[in-house]
Chain A
Amino acid sequence: MSALRRLPWGLLGVLAALSVPLLGSRFYTFVATDVAIMALFAVSLNLLLGYTGLVSFGHAAYFGVGAYTTGLLMKMAGVGFTLAFPAAGLLAGLFALVFGFFCVRVTKIYFAMLTLAFAQIVWAICFKWNDVTGGDQGMPEIPYPDLAWMERLPLVGDLQTSDHFYLLTVVLVGVCFWLLRRIVGSPFGRILTTIRENPERAEFIGVHVGRWELIAFVLSGAFAGLAGGLFGIFNRGVFADFVYWTKSSEVLIMAILGGMGYFYGPAVGALVLLVLNQQITSYTEYWPLVLGSILIVLLFAFPGGIVGALDAGRRRLARLRRA
Chain B
Amino acid sequence: MLEVRGVQKAFDGFQAVAGVSLSVARGEIAAIIGPNGAGKTTLFNLVTGHIRPDAGSVLLEGRNITGLPPHQVCRRGMGRSFQRTNIFPRLSVFQNVQAAFISHRGRGLDLLSRVDRLYRDETDALLASLGLLERAGEMSGFLSHGAQKQLELGIALASEPKLLLLDEPTAGMSAAETHETIRLISRLARERDLTLLFTEHDMDVVFSIAQRITVLHQGHVIAEGAPAEVRSDPEVRRVYLGERR
Contact = CB atoms under 8 A, between A and B. Distances in A.
Classify A-B as touching or not with yes or no (CB < 8 A). yes
A207 B91 contact: no
- Could you say which interface size class chain A belongs to? 20 to 34
Nearest to B155: A205
A204 B163 CA distance: 13
Interface centre among A200, A207, A208, A215, by most chain B C-beta atoms within 10 angstroms, is A207
Contact of B80 (A182, A193, A197, A204): A204
Given A200-B86, A204-B80, A205-B158, A190 B71 contact: no
Contact of B114 (A185, A193, A205): A185
Given A186-B113, A190-B102, A190-B115, A203 B89 contact: no
A273 interface: no
A212 to B, nearest CB: 7
A215 to B, nearest CB: 8
B53 to A, nearest CB: 18
B182 interface: no
B113 A204 contact: no
Contacts of A215: 109
B130 to A, nearest CB: 16
Nearest to B102: A187
Interface string A175-196: 0000000110111111101101
B137 interface: no
Interface in B84-139: 86-91, 95, 98-100, 102-104, 107-116, 118
Given A186-B110, A198-B89, A201-B86, A207 B115 contact: no
B48 interface: yes
A38 interface: no
A48 to B, nearest CB: 15
B86 A198 contact: yes
B170 interface: no
A183 B109 CA distance: 10
Interface string A91-115: 0000000000000000000000000
Contact of A206 (B75, B82, B113): B75
Contacts of B90: 193, 196-197
Nearest to B85: A201
A184 to B, nearest CB: 9
B118 A187 contact: yes
Contact of B95 (A190, A203, A209): A190
A209 B99 CA distance: 13
Contacts of B108: 187-188, 191, 207, 212
A140 to B, nearest CB: 38
Given A182-B111, A186-B110, A205-B74, A191 B89 contact: no
Contacts of B107: 187
B183 to A, nearest CB: 25
B56 interface: no
A313 B187 CA distance: 44
Contacts of B88: 193-194, 197-198, 201-202
Nearest to B80: A204
Nearest to A261: B90
Nearest to A215: B109
B67 to A, nearest CB: 15
Given A193-B88, A198-B86, A201-B87, A207 B112 contact: no
Contacts of B159: 205-206
Given A198-B86, A201-B82, A206-B75, A182 B91 contact: no
A2 to B, nearest CB: 15
A183 B70 CA distance: 26
Interface of A: 182-183, 185-191, 193-194, 196-198, 200-209, 212, 215
Given A186-B113, A204-B74, 19 more contacts: A186-B110, A186-B111, A186-B114, A187-B113, A187-B115, A189-B111, A191-B99, A191-B108, A197-B91, A200-B82, A201-B86, A201-B155, A203-B70, A203-B74, A204-B70, A204-B156, A208-B69, A209-B71, A215-B109
22 contacts: A182-B111, A185-B115, A186-B112, A186-B115, A187-B107, A188-B108, A190-B99, A191-B102, A193-B99, A196-B90, A197-B88, A198-B86, A201-B155, A202-B103, A203-B69, A204-B80, A205-B99, A205-B103, A205-B158, A206-B75, A206-B104, A206-B159
- Going nearest first, the 9 A-B pairs with the smallest beta carbon separation are A197-B88, A205-B100, A203-B70, A206-B74, A187-B110, A191-B108, A187-B107, A206-B103, A205-B103
